[in-house]
Amino acid sequence: MTSVLPEPQPTDRLESEAEFPRHPFDRWDDDKLREECGVYGVIGVADAAQFVALGLHALQHRGQEAGGIVTHNFGTGFHSARRFGYVRDNFTSTRLMETLPGGLAIGHVRYSTAGSKGRTEIRDVQPFFGEFSMGGAAIAHNGNITNAEALRRELIDRGSIFQSSSDSECIIHLMARSLQRDIPERMKDALRRVEGAFSVVAMTRTKLIGVRDPLGVRPLVLGRLGDAWILSSETCALDIVGAQFVREIEPGEMVVISADSGVKSYHPFEPRPPRFCIFEHVYFSRPDSIQSGRSVYETRRQIGVELAREAPVDADLVCPVPDSGTPAAIGFSHESGIPYGMGIIRNQYMGRTFIEPTEQIRNMGVRLKLNVNRALISGKRVILVDDSVVRGTTSRKIKEMILDAGAAEVHFRIASPPTAWPCFYGVDTPQREKLLAATMTEEEMREHLAVNSLKFISLDGLYRAVGEAGGRNPDRPQYCDACFSGEYPVEPADMIQRGFKLKTAAE
């Protein structure tokens, strides 16, 4: 193996929490499942960091807690910046962007799932960087490693020193211990040890690398802009820079992209039937993205159509819970013939208005972000269409607001099956006992929410909406739907070690 002089470590001289405090991201909305992150990478443009910042802005819905960018410049080496808060509040600064030169860059937006809970340190913000004998490499990871605790114990016992609480750092340490001669081969070695779900975007001095786990649980797409290549969690982040969508990275595929050789494809894992996360279609992905060859918007509209067929109700108005319930409400209205109306209006600027709210303001809860259109609601029998019910806290508050505005009846229609099981593949899910559907029947949930009716789309109905005409194949499910079915395609080893009980035959 040829040794080279180590390149400069990423420049983190501005990354103090005192100088860059946390952004108060949606702290009032505690009743939604949270995606943990989005990843983005660019090779072959003059100012790659500018393109990555735009891509991360388009992926902001996948993580609002923090973001980071790493670049490489042949004259000055690697550079990085990591910040708490929104992309628009950090990576639009000329002063900051001038510290990120180079034609190769990757980036990450984060909402924490594994590692530090409740308080993320700057050291947990990705991309992570490692210096190897053949040069440096940075890595950004979307997903969750279900055997991370076991890997971390093993690596620490062998002398590894961890700098963060993130499960993603295990990949860097596994790469460091590989005996392979180049970084892509070391990454293959490392990822073969990893269990769970991952879409990885990484970079060396000359290469952009993308990898998807063997089941393809988390998304990753390839785009092109002239001679430049782009990797992204979603197609909407290709659109923002004017790039052409080329294709999805296949489950279990690794692509290695260089300016000289273009895209080379490898398949380092044993092939398995794919199990893409079905909740990407329901909630996580932006409606203007394409996932699994389907328009996310059209899928959500079709979910509303299926809901109207499965759970009709006599009412005067179909109203979405903004913004994620809107396409399903449109589909429900079209199929049922009941008029659609914006009965609830979202305040898009709530997060920037109340930087440090008083306790009195905080107790206003959901009213900070949603307001009822009284003139439309008063006297009506209202169908509220939402994407999911997790704890039920927000649903109860919205119901109370609708009744306070003079609604005659309130009916909930939910565009996903009951969320009864936690996700261990990269979604921030409460403990199972805190999930309403884990402890109550549908009728008990209706009584708990105190609404006139409550109906969820069936699992088969959801599968039909995403294009599976025959519904769900119980012997070989086409998607990962563990949060609804309790059937985990990858055994959550760490959680089982902690005492988590898998679904029994009786359940």
Q: Which residues contact 353 (CB under 8 A, 6 or more apart)?
A: 347
Q: Which residues contact 116 (CB under 8 A, 6 or more apart)?
A: 124, 165, 166
The whole-angstrom separation of Cα 120 and Cα 110 is: 10
Q: Return the DSSP state at 340.
A: B
Q: Which residues contact 72 (CB under 8 A, 6 or more apart)?
A: 78, 79, 102, 104, 105, 136, 203, 204, 205
The reply to whether 37 belongs to the active site is: yes
Burial level of 350, CB count in 10 A (0-12/13-18/19+)? Answer: middle
Query: Which residue in this structure is represented by tokens 């990962």?
Result: 480
Closest alpha carbon to 197 in 501, 489, 499: 489
Q: Which residues contact 95 (CB under 8 A, 6 or more apart)?
A: none
Task: Check 37, 236, 319, 483 and give the catalytic one.
Answer: 37
Q: State CA 231 to chain mean position distance.
A: 15
Please, are residues 79 and 48 in contact by the beta-carbon 8 Å criterion?
A: no
DSSP 242-287: TPEEEEEPPTT-EEEEETTTEEEEE--S------EETHIIIIIS-T
3-state SS class at 431: coil
Cis-peptide, bond into residue 214, ω within 30° of zero: no
Give the active site residues: 37
